[in-house]
Amino acid sequence: MNVRVFYHDRCFDGACSAALFTRFYRERIRDDVQFEYMGLLHRAGALFNEDDFTGDENAIVDFKYSPSRKITWWFDHHESAFLTPEDAGHFERDTSNRKFYDPGFKSCTRFLAMIAEQRFGFKPESMAEVIHWAEIIDGALYESAKTAVEMAEPAMKLTMVIESAQEADFGARLIPLLETMPLAEILLDPLIAPRLQPLLERHRRSIEVLRQRSECKDGTVFFDITDQELEGYNKFIPYYLHPECTYSVGLSRSSFRNKVSVGSNPWTKREDLVNLAKICERYGGGGHARVGAISFDVSKGDEARKAAREIVAELRASTKTSGM
Return d(Cα 140, Cα 95) in angstroms, integer. 33
Q: Is residue 263 within 8 Å of residue 235, measured between CB atoms?
A: yes
Q: Does domain 2-186 have CATH number 3.40.50?
A: no
What DSSP string describes 202-246? Answer: HHHHHHHHHHHH-EEETTEEEEE-TTSS-TT--TTHHHHH-TT-S
Write out the H or E segment, with its range, that includes residue 161: helix 154-164
Count of all residues that appear for the chain in the document: 324
Return d(Cα 284, Cα 192) in angstroms, integer. 34
Percent of the chain predicted with pLDDT > 70: 98
Return d(Cα 152, Cα 80) in angstroms, integer. 31
pLDDT digits (tens, 9 = 90+) for 1-32: 999 999 999 999 999 999 999 999 999 999 99
pLDDT digits (tens, 9 = 90+) for 240-295: 999 999 999 999 998 889 999 999 999 999 989 999 999 999 999 999 999 999 99
Q: Is residue 316 within 8 Å of residue 217, measured between CB atoms?
A: yes
Q: Count CB atoms within 10 A of the CB of residue 105.
A: 21
Q: The pTM is what?
A: 0.85
pLDDT digits (tens, 9 = 90+) for 209-220: 999 999 999 999
- Whole-number pLDDT of residue 324: 46
Give CA separation, 227 vs 131, 253, 300, in Å.
36, 7, 14
> Taking the domains of the chain in order of start, what are their residue ranges?
2-186, 202-321
Same fold, 2-186 and 202-321: no
Please give the CATH number for the structural domain made up of 202-321.
Answer: 3.10.310.30
| Residue 190 three-state SS | coil
- How many helices (DSSP H) and strands (DSSP E) are in the chain? 12, 11
- Whole-number pLDDT of residue 321: 65
Give CA separation, 168 vs 39, 40, 41, 116, 293, in Å.
8, 10, 12, 28, 22
